[in-house]
Every structure is written in C-alpha cells, then in structure tokens.
Structure 1
Amino acid sequence: MSDNCIFCKIISGEISSKKIFEDSDLMVFHDIRPIAPVHFLIIPKMHIESLNHAEAEHQNLLGKMLLLAPKLATEQGLKGFRTMINTGREGGQEVFHLHVHVFGGGANLPKT
C-alpha cells in the first residue's frame, strides 16, 4: 500500500466508498464522478501504479479483474458495458493505482 494513494486509503477503510464487491485480492466500488448511469472501478488491493507497472507475476490478478467485470456489470443491471484502463498521465490516468473503469447503462456513452 502507498500512504499517499487515495485508492489504498479506500482499501484500508480510511476513506469510505460505495463498495459493491471485495475479496482478498480486489475491491470494487462506484466511481465518485460517474460518466454513465452505472460506473464502477475494479482495483487490486496490491498497489500497482499503472498497467505499465504490471509484471508477469500479476497475470492472474489482471485476468481476475477482467473476468469479474461482466459478472458485476450484469449484477448492476447492465446488458452491455464498456471497460477502460487509463495508463499514465498522458493516457488520462488521474489516480496512480491500477484500476479498470466499467460503465454503461445509457445510449449516450462517450465514443472511443
């Protein structure tokens, strides 16, 4: 965990969140600035700064994150959804703790 990381503080319980899933490896909670009717984040409990910092040893964790997305999207009532991982400042990453955005629930989703 990183002392200055807002997501690490959410994982530790220092900062509250609207949690929808948690296990020993991952935490999932609703985004505080949603861009769609349903917008949640899947984060590893292990502090990994970005996808650029993921290594071969994280392969199972990354797979678990992606496989969890459709299950939780369905539980949140989505029939379709989009996933997004911003990587690095120039890639739009604002919180430097790896996270997968999952969002949907509307016809007016931002275009890629």
Structure 2
Amino acid sequence: MAGEPQADCLFCKIVAKEIPATIVQETESTLAFRDINPQAPTHVLVIPKVHFPDAASLAAGDPEAAAEVLRAAGEVAEGEGVESYRIVFNTGAGAGQTVFHAHAHVLAGRGLEWPPG
C-alpha cells in the first residue's frame, strides 16, 4: 500500500535504521544520506519517510511529503555549502531508477550543464 513501509524496500529499511547509511540530515518526514555510488562530488539522496514508488505517485498521493523532499533538498545543498546544484528524480527503470522508493538526487560540485552527460 502506498505510504506504508515496504518490507522489501532498501530505502524503507534505511528509514527504519535496519540498514546503515551516511545520514546528512533527518527531519520528521524526510531522510537525506550520501549516495553509495556518487556521480558528483556532492551526491545526496533525499527521500520521504513514507513509501511511494516514484516522484509522480508521491506528488499525487502525499503532496505535502513531496514538498518536504524539495525543501529538504535545498537545505541539504545549503548545508553542503553549494550554491548551484541539480535536483533529479528518476522515474522508471528506463530513466535509471533502481530503487522504487521516491527519492531526489542532490548533485553538485562538477559541471552540470544541460543536457546532462
């Protein structure tokens, strides 16, 4: 069920502190931690503590939680001391999503011109 923790979800297990992560920030509704395979010098994942499979379902099912993820992403960037950064949501395996728990990538510290590459 959307919103409820999923027993087989890596990020739900990180939220429950069953799997360790390098936590950067935690709020009542979000958790931010360093990506284990960083694609930029600053690469932090920001997740809602509620489970939704992707950003679109999060926004539709819990718009307040979606807003909190974006707010936390900005706070993470500020805490990391970066002024320019990218926030990326991958949706679906074809777009590179590998963990099906909505999450934002906060990326900074290298050239992030468009298109990405």
TM-score, scaled relative to structure 1 = 0.90
Q: Which runs of 5+ in 1 are unaligned?
A: none
User: Which residue number in structure 2 is paired with residue 37 of structure 1?
Assistant: 41
Residues 83-102 of structure 1: pairs in structure 2 closer than 5 A: 83-102=87-106
Q: How does 1:12-91 map to 2 (within 5 A)?
A: 12-54=16-58, 56-91=60-95
Aligned residues: 112
Cα distance in 2 for residues equivalent to 1:98 and 1:57 = 12
Deviation string 1:21-72 (CA, Å, 9 cap, x unpaired) is: 1122111100000000010011011111112323544111111111222221
Structure 2 equivalent of residue 107 of structure 1: 111
RMSD (CA atoms): 1.7
Query: Which residue type is aligned with residue 99 of structure 2?
Result: V
Give the fraction of aligned pairs with identical amino acids, expressed as a percent: 34
Compare 63-72 and 77-86 and name the one that shifted more: 63-72
